[in-house]
Amino acid sequence: MSERITSLRTKTPQEGFELAVKLAQKGVLVTQPSETIRKKLRPKYSKDADSLIMASQVIAIHFQTVAAANNYWK
């Protein structure tokens, strides 16, 4: 895994959302480290509405965490 995440602090909500996406992506890499297997599975879940909704939910949960860490950018 490259590029360590050293802080949840961001300057803007947009940067916070991008960090939330990165956190979700890194979670997948930790859960399934094999790139070969991830590529094999992608065609199935990329066409499954439930899988896409769950992925969005993971990002939303990460965004809630990042927003709280940034005092909701007040």
- Residue 3: predicted pLDDT: 79
Distance in angstroms (rounded) separating the CA atoms of residues 13 and 71: 11
* Structure token pair of residue 16: 């916070």
Kindly report the pTM of this predicted structure: 0.90
CA distance 31 to 51: 16
Spatial separation of the C-alpha atoms in residues 13 and 17, rounded to whole Å: 6
- Tens of pLDDT along the chain (74 residues) come to 567 899 999 999 999 999 999 999 999 999 999 999 999 999 999 999 999 999 999 999 999 999 999 999 99
